[in-house]
Amino acid sequence: MSEEGLAVIGVTACNQQLGLHPFNIVGDKYLLSIADATSAWPLVIPSLGHCPAAAILPRLDGILFTGSPSNIEPHHYEGAPSAPDTLHDPKRDATTLPLLKAAIAAGVPVLAICRGFQEMNVVYGGSLHQELHQVGDYIEHREDKTAPVEIQYGISHPIQIEPGGLLHEAWGRNLAEVNSVHTQGVDRLGIGLRPEAYAPDGLVEAFSVKDAKNFALGVQFHPEWKVLDNPFYRAIFTAFNKACQQRAAQRTR
């Protein structure tokens, strides 16, 4: 595709204070996963506390909802108050939760990663375990924060992929191995979400939206990490890219 017809994929940002000034930021790994593993170009969507979805969605060929150090404020899923040291980003919540639902309703392809995956569960009426390691029935899903980043994002455990879903169609196999860099996870699955993969402890690691008009996949792990070096991660982005290219072709006709 020429630059004139290049597909455009929105990438959600987070709020962070850097020195005296607030910034909207996106990790390089998310932007590079689009630039390197798709035929599209990333466009940052700021989390300003609101989003004119009706205006921007017709201009986008897909949206990547990113992971983040912050967690969704638990009042969005009727959860108990967070621990005092929990990092939140209320402007991101106010931006991405309505945007995600609107994007799927409009048929914009969506790939939701980690926090984005949790956002998708919440907007469909699901809830979250805020501290998986305190529940007692789950393996350790947190990274070792003292380890080098290559170890933190290295392969951690296998997942069982359900047949007949987007993930199985993309990968063509029942098993894959993924990293595990999260403290929270699905408690109650959202209404209308189809489980796509499970961790060995039964935790939902991926799901899709059953009645979505287009590609709508959420994954708890981080396939953007060195995506070109991991065939499974690349397969996810290839499937996402295919849906985005199809939308781009329709949009530019």
Rounded Cα gap, residues 121 and 118, in angstroms: 5
Rounded Cα gap, residues 197 and 105, in angstroms: 23
Write down the catalytic residue from 73, 114, 141, 205: 114
Write down the catalytic residue from 119, 143, 196, 224: 224
Instruction: Determine the number of helices (DSSP H) and then strands (DSSP E) in the chain.
Output: 8, 13
Beta bridge partners of 63: 10, 110
Q: Is 109 left (phi over 0), alpha (psi -120 to 50) or beta?
A: beta
Quick one: which of 62, 39, 31 has its CA closest to 212?
62
Write down the catalytic residue from 129, 141, 182, 222: 222
| 222 tagged catalytic | yes
Beta bridge partners of 189: none
Catalytic residues: 114, 222, 224
